[in-house]
Amino acid sequence: MHREKQHEQKASPGRETKSEFGLDFDDDDFVPKYLNPERVRLYRSPMGSPRLEIRNEVCYLRVTFRRILPLSDPDNYISLGVGDDVEIGIVVDPSKLNLESRQIVLEELDKRYFTPAITRIHRVKERFGVHEWDVDTSRGRANFSVQGLHQNIKQVAPARILVTDVRGNRYDLPDYRKLDPNSFAQIQRYL
């Protein structure tokens, strides 16, 4: 009976418990924290790293940014964190942040998710199992190599394709149906 009371006490909401696999977790860890944009202020340190102040609460000296829905809703639901493992909270609509904070969010997401859009395909040539791409993108002309087409070319919408090169860079082809006929001919056999 004494053991049952101890177990009940440990399993009560908000207290640390152990999973069936022996892992410690706190129920509060699974509840997202939404940040009020009126209380969020982002600014840069003298060295240029992003900092976060939640007014009248806390200040974080180095913050990371992630899109929670990178394909379906890339402009909303932005996770702010410390390092790669600790989430501070979520900004649902960054357009409601003050101008400086909004600009920092956009700059940091642009660095993290550098994904130029492919606008034209000049050539895709296979050499020893590696496909050499020569394309025009939203950031200029690019040449890159793709190995393992089935793993590194993903169709994520009816006509949208994400291509990952051998260096881990991603390229977005928003709608291959809108490519000019020569560009489409270069990739048609890989679809």
Asked if 97 and 103 count as a contact pair (C-beta separation under 8 A), the reply is no
pLDDT in tens, 101-137: 999 999 999 888 888 999 999 999 999 989 999 999 9
pLDDT tens digits along 156-186 = 878 999 999 998 889 999 999 999 999 999 9
Q: What is the pLDDT of residues 43-85, one digit of tens each?
A: 999 999 999 999 999 999 999 999 999 878 999 999 999 987 8
CB-CB contact of 126 with 104 (8 Å): no
What percent of the chain stands above pLDDT 90? 69
**Mean pLDDT confidence for 137-150:** 94
**Helix-strand-coil percent breakdown of the chain, rounded to 5?**
25, 40, 35
Give the three-state DSSP class for 159: coil
Rounded CA-CA distance 19/93 in Å is 34
CA distance 122 to 143: 10
Q: How far apart are CA 115 and CA 128, in angstroms?
A: 26
Give the strand pairing for 78-82 and 153-155: unpaired
Distance of CA 109 to the CA centre of its chain: 8
The yes-or-no verdict on residue 15 having pLDDT over 80 is no
Given a contact cutoff of 8 angstroms between Cβ atoms, the answer to whether 161 and 146 are in contact is no
Query: Among 85, 78, 33, 82, which residue's Cα sits nearest to residue 59?
Result: 82
Per-position DSSP letters for 22-79, written without gaps between them: S-EEEGGGGS--BPPTTTEEEEE-TTS-EEEEETTTEEESS-EEEESSTTT-TTS-EE
